[in-house]
Every structure is written in structure tokens, then in C-alpha cells.
Amino acid sequence: MKRYSKAKLALSNFLFCLLFSGGAFAGGLAGTWILSIDTPRGVQHPTLVIRQDGERYSGVYNSLRGPIDIKAINREGDSFAFPLVITVPIGDIEVNYRGTISGDAMTGSVQSARGEVPFTGERSRP
């Protein structure tokens, strides 16, 4: 009987965490991600905060140049993609992120007019 009660308590705790974490611990796309992007000017570490509202995703990309709102992130299964316009001293550069998630990790590439560079990401834990 004690064993059954412990299992029931563990399941209740798991469901509580899942419900009140917004799914962030369930391997979903929503959450805060710390990225590593291997650029020609060195490795950059922006953060990506992804929010989920029903079936829609949006977010904020935070880098040394400041925050950039992302109005829509497309998701299909474990794959995601979104465009981003980054303002630099020589003008605006449009980039396209494409990647996949697996639990608390993501991998992918960033494409721009200058080519493609890889990135990885890890979910940030509070």
C-alpha cells in the first residue's frame, strides 16, 4: 500500500509541475533558450524567449544589439522557423532561423544574404 501511495504522489507532483510550468519542462518549444551561433566574427550567445498561446508561437530575441520582437514562429513537429531583421550600422539584415528541438536542446542554422551559419541552443532553467 505504501508503494502505491508513493507512486500516486510522484505522478501528482509530475502533473503539477507540467501544468504550472507552461509545458517548458515537457520538451516543448516555449521557454528561454541560450543560443550559441558560430559567426564569422566569433561565437555569439543571444537568448531566445519563446511564448506559446494555443497553437501560436512568438518571442523575443535578445542580443548585444538589444531585444527584437518575433511576431510568429512556425512550428511543425520538432522543427521550427522564423525570420528576424537585425539592425546593424550598415543597415538592416534579414536572417532566417531554422532548427529542431529535442528535449532541452535545439540545433539549426541561420541563413542570410552572406551565407549560412550553424547554431545550437540549450533551455535555460530558472
* DSSP code per residue over the chain: -HHHHHHHHHHHHHHHHHHHTTTGGGT-S-EEEEEEEEETTEEE--EEEEEEETTEEEEEEEETTEEEEE---EEETTEEEEEEEEEETTEEEEEEEEEEEETTEEEEEEEETTEEEEEEEEEPP-
Q: What is the pTM of this model?
A: 0.76
Tens of pLDDT, residue by residue over 21-45, are: 344 334 599 999 999 998 878 899 9
Q: Is the pLDDT of residue 102 over 60?
A: yes
Domain that holds residue 30: 26-123
- Domain CATH code at residue 113: 2.40.128.120
Range of lowest pLDDT (13-17, 53-57, 105-109): 13-17
Q: Is residue 73 part of a domain?
A: yes
Q: Give how many domains the chain has, as a whole number.
A: 1
Q: Is residue 3 part of a domain?
A: no
Q: Is residue 8 part of a domain?
A: no
